[in-house]
Amino acid sequence: MAHSSAELIGKGGYGCVYKGKLPDGHLVAVKVLKESKSDGEEFINEVASMGRTSHVNIVTLLGFCYERTKRALIYDYMSNGSLDKFIFNQEFSNTARCLEWKMLYEIALGIARGLEYLHRGCNTRILHFGIKPQNILLDKDFCPKISDFGLAKLWLNKESIVSMIGARGTAGYIAPEVFSRNFGGVSHKSDVYSYGMLVLELVRGRKNIDARVHNTSEIYFPSCIYEDLELGRDLRISKVATEEEKEMARKMVMVSFWCIQTTPSERPQMSKVVDMLEGDLQSIQIPPKPFLFSPPRSPQRSTKS
Ligand SMILES: Nc1ncnc2c1ncn2[C@@H]1O[C@H](COP(=O)(O)OP(=O)(O)OP(=O)(O)O)[C@@H](O)[C@H]1O
């Protein structure tokens, strides 16, 4: 289906992604999945359900290839790549911040709308592993789209889930209840948590858990942002110049802190998140301080601090 001279554009935990071109010139991203032992029926069912998904903030799945153990998924090509490139890239953080506040706000809102759609009605899905900046792709107009929501994840058993959380370093986006059932059951609210962590990263332009930071109180940055919020201080975030920008940043921070509440039932539904982002800053209450836990470093140590 894809052009033979397809170029490699990325690698994920589940396989390589190539850029390709359909005979009519349409650009596509072809994700060639690693070989899997799971049965094909599950794959086909999952692809069929993804095929029924249609939303402006979800990457469109155009088709799939399936031949014994070889499986590939064909998506619309997103010319601006994934969000991590814009929020973590030194090149961008040293010069003028690449994405303006208005754009960051639009991205946060777009992702919220996409997740709200996935959580709604019969399309209901939980992303479980957390949604991270690599899963947010930006199209040519910088409209954010969620990609890869859960397909490969369904093939994993519980054990491999635990080892992946340890091995892949995406722990910062995963809700506490995914590590330990003491916090409650896994639900849509687990995605709400991941969303909150992702938006905090958008705001700060830095990973939530950053080993390069020397001051220990800064390692887990949401704590110091919370302090600013609680004391009504200006948030210690760069490039917020105008009142409008301050308001957008504050709104994003308030929403994120609601989303990362430790108890799942205290987190808002995604529909409420969309409302909060679109509504007045004044109508959002200051969230309680979330209990900020350190996710386990290895699969064996599911401790909290
Ligand atoms: N539709 C697409 N258009 C453009 N680039 C894409 C597309 N899909 C994926 N990519 C690129 O390929 C990279 C790897 O994507 P992929 O979905 O395989 O992995 P991931 O999201 O990083 O992780 P995982 O699959 O392990 O959750 C992305 O970060 C992005 O840069």
Phi, psi at 175, each rounded to 5°: -65, 150
Strand pairing class (15-21; 27-33): antiparallel
Rounded to whole angstroms, the Cα distance separating 69 from 239 reads 49
The pick from 64, 84, 145, 148 for probing ligand 1's pocket by mutation, whose C-beta has the most ligand atoms within 8 angstroms, reads 148
pLDDT attached to residue 211? 46
Nearest-CA residue for ligand 1 atom 23 is 12
Helix, strand or coil, per DSSP, at residue 90: helix
Distance of CA 140 to the CA centre of its chain: 19
Phi, psi at 188, each rounded to 5°: -55, -30
Nearest-CA residue for ligand 1 atom 4 is 78
pTM, 2 dp: 0.83
State the amino acid at position 27 in one-letter form. Answer: L
ipTM for the complex shown: 0.96
Q: Which residues of the chain have pLDDT under 70?
A: 1-6, 37-38, 89-98, 121-130, 149-171, 206-221, 238-240, 292-305
Interacting residues of 77 by C-beta distance below 8 A, sequence separation 6+:
19, 20, 27, 28, 29
pLDDT attached to residue 178? 78
pLDDT attached to residue 206? 57
The torsion defined by the Cα of 261, 262, 266 and 268, in degrees rounded to 10, comes to 50
Question: Cβ(240)–Cβ(101) under 8 Å?
Answer: yes
Which residues carry a binding-site annotation? 31
Burial 107-125 (b: 16+ CB within 10 A, else e): bbbbbbbbbbbbbeeeeeb
Q: Choose among 27, 59, 31: nearest CA to 144.
A: 59
Nearest-CA residue for ligand 1 atom 26 is 13
The pick from 7, 8, 11, 17 for probing ligand 1's pocket by mutation, whose C-beta has the most ligand atoms within 8 angstroms, reads 17
Question: Cβ(157)–Cβ(287) under 8 Å?
Answer: no
Rounded to whole angstroms, the Cα distance separating 186 from 195 reads 15
Rounded to whole angstroms, the Cα distance separating 245 from 104 reads 10
Question: Cβ(290)–Cβ(222) under 8 Å?
Answer: yes
